Amino acid sequence: MSGGVAVEDLVVFVGDGAEAGGGAGGGAAAVAGGGVGPVLPMREAAVNVADLAVTRGDGVFESIGVIDGRFIELPRHLARLKHSSAMLDLPEPDVEAFERAARLALAAHAPQRELLVKLLHSRGIEGADRASGWVQVLAGTDHSAARSTGIRVVTLDRGYRHDIAQTSPWLLQGAKTLSYALNKAALREAARRDADDVIFVSTDDVVLEGPTSNVVVRHGDVFRTPRPDLGILAGTTQAAVFETLGALGFETAEAVITPAELATADGLWLLSSGRLLAPVRELDGRPLPVDADFTRTLLERTFGL
């Protein structure tokens, strides 16, 4: 590998992926037998224009936080990649190959306190009947301000009822699909409303999730998160933080939560793999209490940050 590779964002193709990528390296991408490789700088990695990930957003992904070279919650991410793939009737991803690719790419990257590793599993090139996949290592955004001083959040109507996963499973709620255009649109709407992020609410007044995060609300010593059967993504960060809260002696619960309950919270956070824990300091223009010390304790005990 050339010396230049290690300082850039990197890509590794997964599977018999000569067809999936190749870029400057052409088709001879896959490491024989291993189904993984090689490591390429992002600018040299190419996905076929006919790949359904590109043309239809027809695939699934995971974003995994890395702190001091350690993957955060890797088994939960791999399990969710499999689960999302099953929901989309995709070929089962070779999670061992994905893990090997992730470790290979991470080892090649210049060390940084925080990095983000993305796994993408696509239905592949239209008509080829073969999945494609790749792993990216990205230098993480600096989330220190969001984690300490907190974020401003608006609630937005998600446009469906809380029971959508049961009534309309073909809408794929709860799968981490590549189709994130509306999630990004919601974040732009937040910016238009002078806020940093969004909490989606169902048409029948149930708190759901953020466009890229889960909600955790505190009342006294009880911490609750929306139930995963409410058409939301089951969060790996939320699961890890609930383990810490349990170990600290707090009560935790998956629940049906109303927006009115958020307004009276003793603490409210958005949880996600890159940013980890962001306390909400303002909800729909009204201030909420932020306990910076407690958030720091959770970050340290859960993620060693």
Q: Is 235 in the site for ligand PLP (CB under 6 A)?
A: yes
- In angstroms, the first-to-last Cα distance of the chain is 31
Question: By CB under 6 A, what part of segment 124-183 binds ligand PLP?
Answer: none
For the bound state, the minimum distance from the C-beta of residue 213 to ligand PLP, rounded and expressed in Å, comes to 5
Q: Is 233 in the site for ligand PLP (CB under 6 A)?
A: yes
For the bound state, the minimum distance from the C-beta of residue 45 to ligand PLP, rounded and expressed in Å, comes to 22
Q: Is 212 in the site for ligand PLP (CB under 6 A)?
A: yes
State which of residues 19, 51, 209, 282 lies at the interface with ligand PLP (CB under 6 A).
209
State which of residues 273, 288, 299, 302 lies at the interface with ligand PLP (CB under 6 A).
273
Question: By CB under 6 A, what part of segment 31-70 binds ligand PLP?
Answer: 63
Residue 85 vs 273, nearer CB to ligand PLP: 273
Q: Is 236 in the site for ligand PLP (CB under 6 A)?
A: yes
Q: Is 114 in the site for ligand PLP (CB under 6 A)?
A: no
For the bound state, the minimum distance from the C-beta of residue 48 to ligand PLP, rounded and expressed in Å, comes to 25
| Residues forming the site for ligand PLP (CB under 6 A) | 63, 209, 212-214, 233, 235-238, 271-273
